[in-house]
Chain A
Amino acid sequence: MLSFVRFLFAFTIGSHILLVCTSIALVVLISVAEFISIRKHDQVYEALARRLAKVFVISFAVGTASGIVMAVELVGLFPSFMTLVASTGAIVLLYAEVSAFFLEVLALVLYVYYWNAFKGRYTHWILSIFMATGTLGSAVFITMVNAWMNTPAGFDISGFVSSGFTTVSGVQPYAAFLTASTADQVFHVLVTTIFAGSMVIGAYFAFWFIRSRDAEDRAMYSRALKILGAIAVITIIVSGLTGSKEMGTLLVNQPLKYAALDGNPVNGTNFPDRFFGTVVGNSYVGGFSIPGMQSFLAQFETGIAQLPGLSQFPASDWPPLFVNLTFNLMTIGGVALGVFFLVYFLALVTRRRPYESRRVLYLWIPAAVVAIIVYQLGWATDEVGRQPWIVYNVMTVAQAANTSDALLVPGIIIVAFYLMVVPLTFYLYARVFRRKAEAMA
């Protein structure tokens, strides 16, 4: 039953993430599109922002409802963990998240339903900033909870563990806002989320730009792609930098996870970056490696020369070692996307309008699939890499989980439900956005 609990939550959060990353990229795109429409007096950008705002309403509705499913699921699946959350600063983060929701929802309602009530166009645009602040704020606070799970702080950990998880004392509620891993994780998650969402939305526009013969529609798709391309170029660069920084944080705060991700069987110096092999005993077998690269990056980020290895830790604390593979795939996928956008950027500076090039747009669509896989692999690596712990070095997943058989039926219903809701939501995004085009045809 524990495996089912793990699968159920992984599946739910994996589905939820798809909705969230498009939602976050949407709000950024809407805000930028409206800003440009005002600056350039461009009606097409304004029409783009208005149509995307409709899609954002659906995205908000389904995303929020899915968030409520997750909240209920967390209590049902991991009751001991949620009791700890409710007794420490982690709940303050959730409370702050609700405040961000309020900002988002009220700004959204005003932005969408009272668009024409604003005489000052910049005043209306400022609402999109509020909306984006609320949306990104929610993501930031929930990522802070995840960072707290990776590097827990703000309560007497040894007292809690020795009491058999019954007594939480020495609570410092605000310590959860800035744990050792918070800043790096939040920054990395934000930029990668915007990147992945931009790629998915861009794939939609790329597809229709290639297919459409309508000049007005193509003008709109081209403008959307122009913005998304710029966002993707910026965020892929920052993703690489923040990802490397996050590995440094991991090295300092979660050395076992670091060793598992990098496939280090034993500790040592002058380590290569290892790819696609397996740890067997005290060696890394198969695959290939880039000599010295791991040590170079670690030294650059943290100044640490002596890198950790799995053998330093009890085998019972090791995460599943396939995290080395997921980490490798994530890294290589990220680098491939980086190369794609390097070419895109070069085309951009040489004024070749890559956002209207059929060759580039044909490539964008599979690149979006890669981006989503890389994004999901990133989360999988982070979560599986923390195993067996749900709260690092405090509480294991097995200790936190509810393994009652009664969860089986509701769990299967939830899986079936997400299998239906996620594709239906994306279908309706597309249908709502293209409503005008259909009406004109």
Chain B
Amino acid sequence: MNGIFEVNFAAFSVFAALLITEIMGAVVLLIAWPARAKVLDYLVPVWEVTGTFGAFWVVTGDFAYPALLVPVASLFAPLLVVFVMLWVARSAAISFAEFIAKRGWLDEGKLYRAYALSTIVIGVVVLVLLSSLVGGQGVDLATGSFSLASWATAGSMAFILGTLLLGVGFAPVFFDLPSLKGYVLPLAGGGVVLSVFSYWLMSSALVTWWMSVPVLLTLLAGVLYLWPKTARVVTNKGVFLAVLCVIIFSLQFLVYPAAVGQALNIDAVTTTGAMADAFTSVTVVGASLLAVMLILYVRIASKGPSGPDFP
């Protein structure tokens, strides 16, 4: 048990869960524009929080693994540049779209589609990065280099395709779009199969009995959407997000105790001594503050609808 790793991975789980729900929303914005009201009602307050959790994950990562900071940044420099550019584009597009009045060629529809496209590509970039951190595809630790050509193995491709299928498959559940109900189980089921297969392709050691936890939770969420009574549970965004966080958190065995195709021992690179104590103290203070703000957020958000009535 490595407490520092757990905190960092918990931060990642929340960030990834929020990003996945954003990707689901982006898919709906692109393929079912008339249903945008339901999507924007969720996205518009939440997209700002996603980035903050992303920053939280990165900073806790820098703090937790100082020796990895530079090697990881050098390894993935081109991917990080693409990610950063897309992130600015995505943030700018959605914040402008939110308040823009139609004038000339620039309108909210174009800006929301730009947001959707950049968010989906961000998702792909993150998946490329994660697949390398899990299976080590494309990574040469000896030379400190990353090759996209070497990365493009069957395992990596299946990993990306499987995750995207899961995202697309669960979009109707999360945004409660009954007209697309028929796609949920086939896509989600296909996503689960492809994802597990991808882990096996990356390394057979990754497929252990632990895998049954995320698999069962994922399938259960899909099945619950089939009946109206149980659908109410799974379309509750708080419940869905919480379950998604648990699913992602339960996948930690993919990178712990060893990551990058079992080549990197996490405990060996985790910070120790006074810095580890400081990590714990600041986490307790920061997490308490965050918990208070989140409780306040949930209380207020559950009282009234979002959507400002600006003069």
Interface footprint category on A: 35 or more
Name the distance in Å between B97's Cβ and chain A's nearest Cβ.
Answer: 10
Q: A50-B310, A117-B300, A410-B81 are in contact. Are A83 and B45 (CB under 8 A)?
A: no
A64 to B278, CA, bound (A): 25
Contact (Cβ within 8 A) A76 B52: no
Contact (Cβ within 8 A) A113 B308: yes
Q: A417-B88, A438-B101 are in contact. Are A95 and B282 (CB under 8 A)?
A: yes
Q: A68-B55, A68-B84, A171-B274 are in contact. Are A116 and B101 (CB under 8 A)?
A: no
Q: Which of B42-56 contact A (CB under 8 A)?
A: 44-46, 48-49, 51-52, 54-56
Contact (Cβ within 8 A) A110 B297: yes
Q: Which of B260-289 contact A (CB under 8 A)?
A: 271, 273-275, 277-279, 282, 285-286, 289
Kindly list chain B residues whose C-beta atoms are within 8 Å of the C-beta of A61: 48, 91-92, 94-95
Contact (Cβ within 8 A) B300 A425: no
Give a binary string over A65-108; 1 marks a CB under 8 Å from any B CB, 0 the rest: 11111011001100110110111110110111111011101111
Contact (Cβ within 8 A) A102 B84: no
Kindly list chain A residues whose C-beta atoms are within 8 Å of the C-beta of B74: 79
Kindly list chain A residues whose C-beta atoms are within 8 Å of the C-beta of B199: none
Q: A61-B91, A86-B69, A95-B63 are in contact. Are A428 and B96 (CB under 8 A)?
A: yes
Does A173 make an interface contact (CB < 8 A)? Answer: yes
Does B177 make an interface contact (CB < 8 A)? Answer: no
Contact (Cβ within 8 A) A65 B275: no
Contact (Cβ within 8 A) A114 B73: no
Contact (Cβ within 8 A) A113 B45: yes
Does B100 make an interface contact (CB < 8 A)? Answer: yes
Contact (Cβ within 8 A) A117 B304: yes
**Which one of A72, A87, A114 contacts B275 once the chains associate, using CB atoms below 8 Å?**
A87
Contact (Cβ within 8 A) A171 B56: no
Closest B residue to A88 by beta carbon equals B275
Q: A68-B87, A106-B294 are in contact. Are A92 and B278 (CB under 8 A)?
A: yes
Does B293 make an interface contact (CB < 8 A)? Answer: yes
Kindly list chain A residues whose C-beta atoms are within 8 Å of the C-beta of B274: 171-173
Does B213 make an interface contact (CB < 8 A)? Answer: no
Looking at A52-60, A192-200, A203-211, the stretch in contact with chain B turns out to be A52-60
Contact (Cβ within 8 A) A101 B52: yes
Closest A residue to B278 by beta carbon equals A173
Name the distance in Å between B269's Cβ and chain A's nearest Cβ.
Answer: 11
A53 to B103, CA, bound (A): 22
Contact (Cβ within 8 A) A114 B304: yes
**Which one of A67, A72, A98, A113 contacts B286 once the chains associate, using CB atoms below 8 Å?**
A98
Give a binary string over A96-132; 1 marks a CB under 8 Å from any B CB, 0 the rest: 1111011101111110111111100000000000100
Contact (Cβ within 8 A) A69 B282: no
**Which one of B48, B96, B278, B309 contacts A109 once the chains associate, using CB atoms below 8 Å?**
B48
Kindly list chain B residues whose C-beta atoms are within 8 Å of the C-beta of A96: 282, 286
A68 to B56, CA, bound (A): 11
Q: A47-B311, A75-B73, A172-B274 are in contact. Are A99 and B100 (CB under 8 A)?
A: no
Looking at A236-244, A307-315, A341-349, A429-437, the stretch in contact with chain B turns out to be A429-437
Contact (Cβ within 8 A) B81 A431: no
Contact (Cβ within 8 A) B52 A98: yes
A424 to B84, CA, bound (A): 18
Does B66 make an interface contact (CB < 8 A)? Answer: yes
Does B62 make an interface contact (CB < 8 A)? Answer: yes
Kindly list chain B residues whose C-beta atoms are within 8 Å of the C-beta of A105: 48-49, 51-52
Kindly list chain B residues whose C-beta atoms are within 8 Å of the C-beta of A65: 51, 87-88, 90-92
User: What are 25 A-B contacts defined by CB distance under 8 Å?
Assistant: A58-B96, A64-B48, A64-B91, A65-B87, A68-B55, A68-B87, A71-B55, A86-B69, A87-B66, A91-B275, A98-B55, A101-B52, A102-B286, A103-B289, A105-B52, A106-B290, A109-B45, A109-B46, A114-B306, A116-B304, A116-B308, A173-B277, A410-B78, A424-B92, A432-B99
Binding site for A on B (CB under 8 A): 44-46, 48-49, 51-52, 54-56, 58-60, 62-63, 66-67, 69-70, 73-74, 77-78, 80-81, 84-85, 87-88, 90-92, 94-96, 98-101, 103, 271, 273-275, 277-279, 282, 285-286, 289-290, 293-294, 296-297, 300-301, 303-304, 306-311
